[in-house]
Amino acid sequence: MNEKLPELLAPAGSDESLRAALAAGADAVYFGSSLFSNRMRAKNFAGDALSDAIRLTHAAGARAHITVNTRIRDREMDEALRLCDRILSPADDSCADAIIIADMGLAEEIFKRWPDAVLHASTQTSMGSPADCRSLANLGFRRLVLPRELSREEIAALTGGPLEIEIFLHGAHCVSCSGQCLMSWFCGGRSGNRGECAQPCRLPYTVDPEAKKNGPTPLSLADMCLAGDIPAVIGTGVCSLKIEGRLKPAGYVYGVTSIYRRLLDERRAADPKETKKLADLFNRGFTDGYFAGKYNDSMIGQRVSETAKDYEPSRAVTQKVRLALNQRLWTEERERADRTSRKLRMEFVCRRGMPSSLTLDCGEARVTETGDFPDEASGKPLDQDAVTKSLSKLGGTEFTLDALEIALDDGLWMPVSRLNDLRRRAVEQLEKALSKDGRGEAEPASEIRQAVRKPAPYTAPKFPKADHAPWVLNLADAAALEGDPEILGEILASFARVTVSAWDARRAKDALDRLNLENPPEITASLPVFPLPDERMGALLDAVREAGCRRIECHTPGQIRAALDRGFTADASFRANVTNAAAAALYRRLGCAAVAASPEVPCAAVRAMALVPIVYGKIPVMTLAKCVLRAGNRACVGRGGRDPERHKPDACHGTLTDRVGASFPVIGEADCVNVVYNAVPVWMGDRLNNLRGAEALEFRWTDEGAEEMRGVIRRYQRGETGEGRRIQN
């Protein structure tokens, strides 16, 4: 038996692209408002245009998934909720089928106002484990959009669980795990988490150690194309396949969607001609590397010409879109009428010496309406054709005529106007009978529904301020603890906790034991960014416990639940992207002892939410499943990409240098994931007073030597200024 076909979900960054997607056969489309959409450079839909776009989608028999998938600040929460009110409250066809959400605080506030809202967790949430699926389902989500980096086997393991699973099928790759890229923010102030990414990953970089196979743009990946894997994709059991491309023009959307529509319907892989047509539309080279679990050098993308980027449909394609969409709308209207109409049996009686009558029976109710006495015909008498013509006029009602029985004496006459009036009164009587049974009439707005239409203004939760903010240290490489004991002792004396990768918890514990400090800092183990199956997560947590660690840094609700279930203290890391008080309150409700601040939030927000800001250090700006160091690092034992089954004994180190000479440290972690750090550190040594009320103050130690780090600590203790980025006030 064939598996059920997954939904084909197409992008619509403009009205033209929306029409193209529907004409090409998309089962669903996703698009955003002019506000809070993670593709703010797309045309998007503002005001009434958003409602009109949803109506058009529904008229074509497709589903409308609306993107409200940026990180929200507290001052924006009311406006974001008003947008959700517009797309969730309508009782007509302008109500969205689902909202795609990245911000956990916004999700919390939506569920308070619309408990039955259908929310899909965006790939920007960086979630993709069985534990994440369970946690999201408990929070009220219906679907998870998986990271692009998961393999076919990892995807299949998540289907059939508590959430619908959606994956990307075609289009551009972000080289960094979605939701974990701060490169655009730090390099130019344009936040990828807020829909403003400037795509610095597409620019040239040089890699040290030299990795010639990476080419001049080692961070620019080829486009995803699973056209050659369609049977395998269907076999994973996912419910939805997403085509990326809300910034692409209508011709691209129509061409790509049409090809995948045909491939899915025929349950086959693309032939060479179809693959070439996809490439002609737009590509940086194609790869299925992540899906296939092959992290080879062919994943590096090619440069694209500007003419390819500006591709627009020909007049013939535009005409084809118009005709195909009109045909789909017409077909859907006919099918909708068949689905929604009630079949009606009529009995008309017209006898001499008695009033006429019309009986209507739709199976759910039966009514009889009495009419006038018939007259004797002085000319042409009333016949069955005339009666049928008048009584079968049911347009504009929910009924269609299934059968008509006529009992008519010869030689009688009745005006057509009386027949029409008899029909109208009988239909009205039947509609009233149906509504008394609770059918056939829209449910009146309840008190809850009325309250939903005018949601209460957002009030940010309040948090108690800490009397004292301890210093905590996060190490990019646990090897930093294996240097000069005297210098390390002075450094560590300033910190209450030291965080290391969970893979390195034993190494860090042994190094601290050798230092024999009088008051050693508590070790916190940071879990991997990329998701692990339950058994691998359990084994890692057991190893961490055996190493003597009792505190875990978590990045997702699923990791938090897994840590708490094993008796650990759990903290939420900066990777949770907390930018508003509702999100901070959620993570505390989930059981977190401390919640880190997104590096994008200002000092005032840190104080208001009692978060943990990063006050010194080079912050991770990208997290890569595709290793950029392997080709030039002979010591690497990985297979060139994320590999949670094999652990390297030592971290790989390298740098990426951009066109202006800025060097970004790269550290390859134990699971072969590369973390790219910012070229310059955050420096708040002279402004710690701006962060009074924070839960703790975090320092990050990446590529600094021990002497340099000791100097940093001394300067912070003296409150000195320094070179680096500031947290905004």
Same domain, 235 and 89: yes
Q: What is the pTM of this model?
A: 0.85
Same domain, 188 and 288: no
Over residues 29-34, the mean pLDDT reads 90
Summarize pLDDT for 41-56 with one digit per residue, the tens: 556 788 889 999 999 9
pLDDT at 311 over 70: no
Q: Would you state the pLDDT for residue 464? A: 85
CA distance 318 to 301: 30
Tokens of 424: 């109208």
Same domain, 259 and 393: no
Same domain, 610 and 507: yes
CA distance 123 to 179: 7
Beta bridge partners of 369: 358
Nearest to 252 by CA among 315, 195, 310: 310
Tokens of 53: 């776009």
Neighbours of 284 (CB within 10 A): 20
What is the DSSP code (8-state) at residue 174?
P
Summarize pLDDT for 111-121 with one digit per residue, the tens: 999 999 999 99
Over residues 574-602, the mean pLDDT reads 96
* Residue 461 located in a structural domain: no
Of residues 235 and 189, more confidence is placed in 235
The length of the chain is: 729
Same domain, 562 and 666: no
Same domain, 289 and 205: no
Q: How many CA atoms lie within 13 A of 221 on its CB side?
A: 25
Last residue of a domain, one of 265, 283, 306: 306
* Residue 442 located in a structural domain: no
* Residue 332 located in a structural domain: no
Same domain, 379 and 364: yes
Domain that holds residue 290: 7-173+221-306
How many structural domains compose the chain? 4
pLDDT at 210 over 90: no
Same domain, 157 and 63: yes
Over residues 192-200, the mean pLDDT reads 80
Tokens of 344: 């009606």
**Out of 150-164, 258-272, 323-337, 622-636, least confident range:** 622-636
* Residue 86 located in a structural domain: yes
Summarize pLDDT for 343-381 with one digit per residue, the tens: 899 999 999 999 999 999 998 899 999 999 999 999 899
pLDDT level of residue 530 (50, 70, 90 thresholds): very high
- Where residue 579 sits, what CATH number does that domain have? 3.20.20.70
Same domain, 100 and 248: yes
pLDDT level of residue 583 (50, 70, 90 thresholds): very high
10: phi then psi, degrees, rounded to nearest 5? -110, 155
Over residues 529-548, the mean pLDDT reads 95
Same domain, 541 and 631: no
Q: Would you state the pLDDT for residue 345? A: 93
Q: Would you state the pLDDT for residue 437? A: 47
Handedness of CA 542, 491, 728, 193 (dihedral sign): negative
Same domain, 552 and 566: yes
Same domain, 43 and 84: yes
